[in-house]
């Protein structure tokens, strides 16, 4: 019985470093994927803000420069 217990501890001692590395690998990949997801969401928000600002600026230019924006349609 004592021999079997000793072997069990030896097997467990051999597997613990591999299990630890697997856990570390999982944590690192999880953080990489979450960071990428957050970065993509931030870029989408920033691009939406930029598009809205460009549309607002174009609308201001169109109404303030010509009044109706009809003169801008003649340019090619």
CA distance 24 to 19: 9
Query: What is residue 24's predicted lDDT score, i.e. its pLDDT?
Result: 98
With bands split at pLDDT 50, 70 and 90, how would you rate the model's confidence at 29?
very high
The b/e string for 49-69 (b: 16+ C-beta within 10 A; e otherwise) is: eeeeeeeeeeeeeeeeeeeee
CA distance 28 to 10: 28
Does residue 39 belong to any structural domain of this protein? yes
Does residue 70 belong to any structural domain of this protein? no
Lowest mean pLDDT among 20-24, 27-31, 32-36, 54-58: 54-58
Does residue 8 belong to any structural domain of this protein? no
Residue 8, CA atoms < 13 Å, CB-side half-sphere:
5
Count how many domains the chain has: 1
Does residue 72 belong to any structural domain of this protein? no
By residue range, what is the domain housing residue 53? Answer: 19-62
Does residue 50 belong to any structural domain of this protein? yes
With bands split at pLDDT 50, 70 and 90, how would you rate the model's confidence at 52?
very high
pLDDT of 18 strictly over 80: yes
With bands split at pLDDT 50, 70 and 90, how would you rate the model's confidence at 72?
low
CA distance 24 to 28: 6
């Amino acid at each position: 019985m004592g021999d079997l217990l000793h072997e069990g501890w030896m097997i467990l001692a051999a597997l613990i470093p591999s299990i630890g590395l697997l856990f570390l690998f999982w944590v690192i990949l999880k953080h990489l994927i979450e960071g990428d997801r957050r970065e993509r969401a931030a870029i989408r928000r920033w691009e939406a803000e930029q598009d809205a600002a460009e549309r607002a600026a174009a609308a201001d230019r169109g109404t303030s420069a010509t009044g109706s924006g009809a003169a801008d349609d003649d340019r090619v």
